[in-house]
Structure 1
Amino acid sequence: MTNFIVKKVAVLGAGVMGAQIAAHCVNAKVPVVLFDLPAKEGPKNGIVLRAIENLKKLSPAPLGNKDDASLIEVANYEDNLDVLAGCDLIIEAIAERMDWKHDLYAKVAPHIAPNAIFASNTSGLSINRLAEGFDDNLKARFCGVHFFNPPRYMHLVELIPTTSTNPAILDQLESFLTTTLGKGVVRAKDTPNFIANRVGIFGMLATIHEAEKFGLSVDVVDDLTGAKLGRAKSGTFRTADVVGLDTMGHVIKTMQDNLADDPFFSVYKTPEILSKLIAGGALGQKTGAGFYKKEGKEIKRIDPATGTYVAGGGKAADIVARILKEKDPVKKFKAMRESTNPQAQFLWAIFRDAFHYIAVHLKDIADNARDIDFAMRWGFGWSVGPFETWQAAGWKQIAEWVSQDIAEGKALTNAPLPAWVLDGPPAQQNGVHTAEGSYSASSNSFVPRSDLPVYQRQAFRAPVLGAAAEDPKTAGVTVHEDANVRVWHQNDDVLIISLKSKMHTIGQGVIDGLKLALAEAEKNFKGLVIWNTDAADGGPFSAGANLEEALPAYMAGGAKAIDPAVKALQDTFMQLKYANVPVVAAVAGIALGGGLELALHASKRVAALESYMGLVEVGVGLVPAGGGLKEAAVRAANEAKGTDILQFLKGHFTNAAMAAVSKSALEAKAMGYLKEDDVIVFNTYELLHVAKVQARSMFDAGYRPPLKKLIPVGGRYTLGTIKAQLVNMRDGGFISAHDFKLGEMIAAIVSGGDVDQGSLVSEQWLLDMERKAFLELLNNPKTQERIMGMLQTGKPVRN
């Protein structure tokens, strides 16, 4: 296998998608040049420069670290086409006009390097037609690569070959997209709107159609089709507003223009209400009005009958909400179909329409059923794909009901279900997903998953309901398991501990589990990895110490009754730091308070890009007491290397005092929570693999724990300087008296207390200060208010 190394990417088009794709390349340390037309006035690269400036303002943020915006190279088509020669991957992302794209291709083609891959980020135009006019060499290196918006956060990328695309470049591109950019790749056929938008936009149109039929308002539909169905909480109409009604109209038009012979063609008619909104300039979120409009603090909804905005907030009927809570899909669908409530009938109708559609179109739009399920899960945020839903609800029963509705004229078209649904292999196997693979209608067989080498980096690939897959909760060999932790290994030389507590909070059970795992790793393994089985599903690393568990002891014996638990936490974290084998924290999702302190004491951290790390204890009126402030003092001393510690300590102090949380692993590195040599992983499915590789290589390189050293601290001088700033903030009304007290305590600990500047103290000295401050605050009524408020409402109390 030859390495496919992308030394540089060019993105053509600095619009919303192009600029964000460029930003995500920079997140992944891939050098990128962003092109657009030369500006008519001002600096020639003005269009690109404005687009890059805009990246810093967008929310959710396209850049993991805003400062990296300056790393995007700027270019225009008039002066800089020669830059293309140094690019290994060129992604075109201009407006969805075939003629404009062809004009641009004619301009850039002569400058493309002989081995570079050229790809279009079109959301639905024909890739074969886009390739017309290329010579054979370039045709073989051209394909579609369709990112979903926003590209940093949406897992899906659709990869679409032409009839001439060289298969090797698709494998290279899939590997790059998967590991370097962290994406889930689905290969699509060259059909209008490919897979996710084809099925997803049909679903939205069918939903609008059925909502009219059953007389449901947009807010009720969104409540029914959002989180209650395990889909994006924005539901249907709110999602359309976010995407932009003009964009949605454009995707619908692609279907109208290219799918005249589709049995569902009548459904592709632009809904009247959509046409009216677009004509009136109400394009959704970007214009401030669409299906919804915010007036003051109130969010109003469109009333299609009058075209005016009226009070919103409509919700699902209680009886329907109860049906949707049913855990057994077989019972849920039976209840939905048999209910006389119009909302339940609407829900059955949109599911039936989706099942009907994917059955009729599986053969022409996708290689197999798995690709449709992944496309909807990764591109539209569904927790379960449509084929998975059908299979779980009883393949044959659902097929009979859909057939019955078609026969009775209730479906959107009278096209029958394909024969394979009722009599083919899926009917015999009770579904499309089986142990041997997922059903392909075009080959009438069950197709196994891709065996590209890149997938060997994923210990547990994204599972499909009904298909064979190893469950990370039970995989490998269990060394010890209880309600709080599982200690296990994959028949190799690295031990893994997975937290099982709610939100992976740290209580006595987790502390005991960490000690047990560490003792076992030191005796029999090359290292210990802390990795949670839900890391790839957005689960937390750890939400911190388990406050609720500590309450009974506190109620019975006051603050001093908590002292042993805090001491045990500190001691355990120190044992991890000075363990005789490397301990690697595999962080993904939130790592807050004690959860971050757990990661800080590991020998190394491997963090997913989407890691949100912070010491947030001030939110509950406490200070970090698991060694987080001690580590701040240690790191500041290391950074200062004998110069004035204060300037290095300021950032660490502010992060803790303001309970700042990183918005990405890149930002966590800038904040000092991740060290320079900690590893950032873009694909969470690869997190365990990379963490184990790190642990093993550290051991094999002759790992020794750090020697315990004394730490130079800033002492009274540093504390006085920080306190003066806190006084100004309190007197200016920026912080409360209790915030001032917390800030002063944090400053005292990170400064090493009432000692001379440059004094040397031990880690234990700082830990004792942390614990003393923590216990003192527990007796403070203002802190007690904050803790109770957080436990009752989940929101911080400002007092």
Structure 2
Amino acid sequence: MRIKKVGVVGAGTMGSGIAALLASAGVPVVLLDIPGKDDPLEFVKRGLERAKKARPAAFMRKDRAALITIGNTRDDLELLGDVDWVIEAIIEKLEPKQELYARLEEVLPEHAIVSSNTSGIPMKALLEGRSDRFKKRFLGTHFFNPPRYLHLLEIIPTPHTDPAVLEAIENFGDRILGKGLVRAKDVPGFIANRLGVYGMLRAVALMEKHDLTIDEVDALTGPLIGRPKSAVFRTADLTGLDVLKMVAEELAHTTGEDFSLPDWVLKVIEGGCLGDKTKCGFYKKEGKEIYTLDWKTLEYRPRQKPKIPGVDEAKQLSLPKRIAAVLDLPGKYGAFLRDLFAVSSQYTLAKTPEIAYDVVSVDRALKWGFGWRMGPFEQMDAVGLDKTAELIEAAGLEKPELLAKAEGSFYKKEGASRQMLALEGGYVPVPELPGVIEIQTLKDAGKVVKESKDAGLYDLGDGVLLLEFRTKMGALGEGIFKMLDYGMKYIEQNDLAGLVIGREDERAFSAGANLALILMLAQEGEWDELEMAVKLFQKSTMRLREAPFPVVVAPFGLTLGGGAEMTLHADRVQAAAESYIGLVEVGVGLIPAGGGTKELLFRFTEDLAPYTGAMGAEADPFAAVKRAFEVIAMAKTSTSALEAFEIGYLQKGDRISMNKDRLIADAKQRVLDLAPDYVSPVRGKITALGKEALGNLKYAVWSFREAGQITDHEVRIASELAYVLSGGDGPRREVSEWDILDLEREAFLKLLGTRKTQERIAHTLKTGKTLRN
């Protein structure tokens, strides 16, 4: 079954966000909401506008909003007459949902699938009174907010769901929407909310027990234990305290368990402080200052960065070791984390057989839905099951049966395969994610060709190698370039198909070159070494372009500076949808010198070639120079792979993987597609415009300075960039790529030799922010 058009009923935060995701994926959407009093489209317009203005952005590119057709549920239900799937995302009450389904049965085509985005109402209750035909084409599809960014999609089939319907939705969710799919049982809260919300509420209660502050709890429950920076209370502000209250009350009602919020939280909600949407909640921002709620007095105080003994030392450890180590933090801090670990683990162990089909589904749900780096069963393995049992007993809790079934750990290695504890006991293989290549699996299977601390080279099979960056944030340096050189020679010597460049990381493909090393060498006056290093980088990126076999780069997340330059030089790019690509060197007082400046100049000039001489007209060659200047001087960075096409970092022939999990596998397939008849591309010369372009660009720079929009040093940076893009200050001349690369390198070193650029680099390394000096 092919899903070509989707309807979303309910244009609230979730419904409009789901519609924006669908449209971003290129799918036409019909978005409906209840009619307003004066304007029948009041609520749906408001929802769509909310999605357009959302921060972070709900749409991957603004123009994709045009794929959404709006209407209201009173007058426009027939707009759903040709959709293949309807997602219901209306108010979390049973009766309105049931009434909507009765009306949908009358207007939907026979093949249309219907699903509910409910976060807690059982599917069996929603289906009461529906026909057998409707029941066969119904299931739960629980997205997480914001739908664009959170990877999890919980799929809740019913006993009536047609297997073909389930397969169609899972394929679409995986490949088109890029979601990580977890099948959940039809129970209140499903998996992620049931466990995640319980853990959040226990953290609030334990804060009171151990007399901690909100700042202290968020410091203890964020990246320190492998969870998002938003931790507990910042997450609640982002979600909305009213939403948290509603979910907690619904879970308490449907499960009969304790999901209660303390009285002081209820008072905050009653006072109208609901989190970010009301500009106050557990935190409040006034101007640039952030204040934290004192839960005892309900007054706001300046946010504090807690100094917790032992935390700095723990941060130096790998995450599995850190999760175990923080349980021994001194005093109330360790006591809080031990209690939180004990109650969360005990609840997870007790409820997993009720809510999930296996332990890996629980781990994936919490990682993909709540942003945890390790799932609860992985965490228990890291702490040790004996220690876990000891902490559960110390907290006065009953030892769950699932813990007793485990033989030393929940996950085990059996040769190259990974095993997990089955819920009924014994061990079974961890189900593989179809179409996914994981680097750890390659390691386990002995597919390492060569490795170092900076990089790894792997055999992906079918004659394709993978080069992996292992440095922090994918920082580029000599170790990576040496591995690249080895890999390219290895492919040639063994007549292999080609190379993929990619890695696995939460944040970054590559945030660029090793700035700390560059600054140190500059301060020590090692200019010969620096020039050699820049030339090595340039030669490496050019080798990607000139290799006698296809090279596919697979960027994702932060792909900045040198990372963007490597991407620009690939034969093809297979980019994750969430790819933030940018040549951002001007922010640290430099210009791109790994071929980025050259590549945009050549690329944009070549883009004009088809228009030169067409119908007697001639394209203005300065347009290409100006475009490259604007992209680099403004450090334009894409907010998605879709936007990278618009800027020019991606081009015709490049593709997007909506599901980042599939990125390496998709990139491998691109190599195999190109390999059979691959011929290295040959690039000719272009005409550099010389003083003609340089004069135009310098005038623009002068205008910005006169208007007070840039500093004197930024004039210097822009002038060096203009000189390179103009090919110097002489007359027009034919230039090769290496002519511009030589100018790039010279300008880079000149700027690096200035005090103000060195100050910029030092400031960025210290604060992560740009210094406008």
1:38 aligns with 2:29: no
In structure 2, C-alpha distance between the alignment counterparts of 1:706 and 1:449, rounded to whole Å: 43
1:502 aligns with 2:492: no
What is the Cα deviation at residue 209 of structure 1? 1.7
1:218 aligns with 2:214: yes
> Compared with structure 1, are the counterparts of its residues 252 and 706 closer, same or farther at alpha carbon in structure 2 (3 Å cutoff)?
same
What is the Cα deviation at residue 335 of structure 1? 7.7
1:237 aligns with 2:213: no
Structure 1 residue identity aligned to 2:579: S
1:737 aligns with 2:707: no
TM-score between the two structures when normalised by the length of structure 2: 0.93
What is the Cα deviation at residue 185 of structure 1? 1.0
Secondary structure, counterpart of 1:606 in structure 2: strand
Say whether the 8 Å CA contact 1:476–1:490 is kept in structure 2: no
Counterpart mapping for 1:78-477 below 5 A: 78-260=74-256, 265=257, 267-313=258-304, 315=306, 317-319=308-310, 336=327, 341-406=331-396, 411=397, 416-422=398-404, 424=405, 426=406, 428-431=407-410, 437-441=419-423, 443-444=424-425, 446=427, 448-450=429-431, 455-460=433-438, 470-473=440-443, 475-477=445-447
**Worse-matched range after superposition: 676-685 or 142-151:** 676-685
Structure 2 residue identity aligned to 1:281: G
1:55 aligns with 2:57: no
Match of 2:71 in 1: 75
> Compared with structure 1, are the counterparts of its residues 606 and 397 closer, same or farther at alpha carbon in structure 2 (3 Å cutoff)?
same
What is the Cα deviation at residue 316 of structure 1? 5.5
What is the Cα deviation at residue 64 of structure 1? 1.4
- The alignment yields a C-alpha RMSD, in angstroms, of 2.6
> Compared with structure 1, are the counterparts of its residues 567 and 341 closer, same or farther at alpha carbon in structure 2 (3 Å cutoff)?
closer
Match of 1:668 in 2: 644
1:16 aligns with 2:13: yes
Match of 2:535 in 1: 567
> Compared with structure 1, are the counterparts of its residues 440 and 679 closer, same or farther at alpha carbon in structure 2 (3 Å cutoff)?
same
What is the Cα deviation at residue 714 of structure 1? 4.0
> Compared with structure 1, are the counterparts of its residues 323 and 444 closer, same or farther at alpha carbon in structure 2 (3 Å cutoff)?
same
Say whether the 8 Å CA contact 1:326–1:332 is kept in structure 2: no
Once the two structures are superposed, what CA deviation does each residue of 1:314-337 show, in whole Å capped at 9, x if it has no partner? 625315665687669689758837
Counterpart mapping for 1:483-502 below 5 A: 483-502=453-472
Secondary structure, counterpart of 1:383 in structure 2: coil
> Compared with structure 1, are the counterparts of its residues 773 and 282 closer, same or farther at alpha carbon in structure 2 (3 Å cutoff)?
same
> Compared with structure 1, are the counterparts of its residues 37 and 645 closer, same or farther at alpha carbon in structure 2 (3 Å cutoff)?
farther
Say whether the 8 Å CA contact 1:178–1:185 is kept in structure 2: yes
TM-score between the two structures when normalised by the length of structure 1: 0.90
Secondary structure, counterpart of 2:146 in structure 1: coil
Secondary structure, counterpart of 2:635 in structure 1: coil
Structure 1 residue identity aligned to 2:652: E
Say whether the 8 Å CA contact 2:225–2:319 is kept in structure 1: no
> Compared with structure 1, are the counterparts of its residues 439 and 131 closer, same or farther at alpha carbon in structure 2 (3 Å cutoff)?
farther
> Compared with structure 1, are the counterparts of its residues 501 and 207 closer, same or farther at alpha carbon in structure 2 (3 Å cutoff)?
closer
> Compared with structure 1, are the counterparts of its residues 737 and 37 closer, same or farther at alpha carbon in structure 2 (3 Å cutoff)?
same
> Compared with structure 1, are the counterparts of its residues 708 and 114 closer, same or farther at alpha carbon in structure 2 (3 Å cutoff)?
same
Match of 2:22 in 1: 25
What is the Cα deviation at residue 122 of structure 1? 0.8
In structure 2, C-alpha distance between the alignment counterparts of 1:585 and 1:475, rounded to whole Å: 23
Match of 1:466 in 2: none
Secondary structure, counterpart of 1:490 in structure 2: strand
What is the Cα deviation at residue 96 of structure 1? 0.8
In structure 2, C-alpha distance between the alignment counterparts of 1:750 and 1:779, rounded to whole Å: 21
Structure 1 residue identity aligned to 2:6: V
1:763 aligns with 2:737: yes
Structure 1 residue identity aligned to 2:369: G
Secondary structure, counterpart of 1:602 in structure 2: coil
> Compared with structure 1, are the counterparts of its residues 548 and 434 closer, same or farther at alpha carbon in structure 2 (3 Å cutoff)?
closer
In structure 2, C-alpha distance between the alignment counterparts of 1:284 and 1:45, rounded to whole Å: 28
Secondary structure, counterpart of 2:71 in structure 1: strand
Structure 1 residue identity aligned to 2:457: V
1:653 aligns with 2:635: no
In structure 1, C-alpha distance between the alignment counterparts of 2:315 and 2:596, rounded to whole Å: 43
Once the two structures are superposed, what CA deviation does each residue of 1:661-699 show, in whole Å capped at 9, x if it has no partner? 211111111110011220111112211111111111111
> Compared with structure 1, are the counterparts of its residues 377 and 558 closer, same or farther at alpha carbon in structure 2 (3 Å cutoff)?
closer
**Worse-matched range after superposition: 371-380 or 522-531:** 522-531
What is the Cα deviation at residue 773 of structure 1? 1.6
Secondary structure, counterpart of 1:269 in structure 2: coil
Match of 1:787 in 2: 761
In structure 2, C-alpha distance between the alignment counterparts of 1:271 and 1:657, rounded to whole Å: 52
Say whether the 8 Å CA contact 1:633–1:713 is kept in structure 2: no
Secondary structure, counterpart of 1:56 in structure 2: helix
What is the Cα deviation at residue 648 of structure 1? 4.0
Say whether the 8 Å CA contact 1:102–1:130 is kept in structure 2: yes
> Compared with structure 1, are the counterparts of its residues 270 and 528 closer, same or farther at alpha carbon in structure 2 (3 Å cutoff)?
same
What is the Cα deviation at residue 432 of structure 1? 6.1
Match of 2:616 in 1: none
Q: Percent identity?
A: 39
Once the two structures are superposed, what CA deviation does each residue of 1:52-77 show, in whole Å capped at 9, x if it has no partner? 23323211111111232222222332
Counterpart mapping for 1:619-698 below 5 A: 619-641=587-609, 642=612, 643-698=619-674
Secondary structure, counterpart of 1:456 in structure 2: coil
Which of 747, 750, 753 matches 2:722? Answer: 747
Structure 1 residue identity aligned to 2:19: A
What is the Cα deviation at residue 704 of structure 1? 1.2
Say whether the 8 Å CA contact 1:495–1:525 is kept in structure 2: no
> Compared with structure 1, are the counterparts of its residues 515 and 330 closer, same or farther at alpha carbon in structure 2 (3 Å cutoff)?
closer
Structure 1 residue identity aligned to 2:684: K
In structure 1, C-alpha distance between the alignment counterparts of 2:48 and 2:731, rounded to whole Å: 47
> When the two structures are aligned, how many residues end up with a matched partner?
762
> Compared with structure 1, are the counterparts of its residues 244 and 602 closer, same or farther at alpha carbon in structure 2 (3 Å cutoff)?
same
In structure 2, C-alpha distance between the alignment counterparts of 1:447 and 1:520, rounded to whole Å: 38
Please, which runs of 5 or more residues in structure 1 have no aligned partner? 462-469
> Compared with structure 1, are the counterparts of its residues 278 and 327 closer, same or farther at alpha carbon in structure 2 (3 Å cutoff)?
same
Once the two structures are superposed, what CA deviation does each residue of 1:597-638 show, in whole Å capped at 9, x if it has no partner? 111111111111121111111122111112111111111112
| Runs of at least 4 residues off by over 6 Å | 323-326, 328-332
Once the two structures are superposed, what CA deviation does each residue of 1:463-518 show, in whole Å capped at 9, x if it has no partner? xxxxxxx4445655343333433233134211222223333323233223222322
In structure 2, C-alpha distance between the alignment counterparts of 1:359 and 1:669, rounded to whole Å: 46
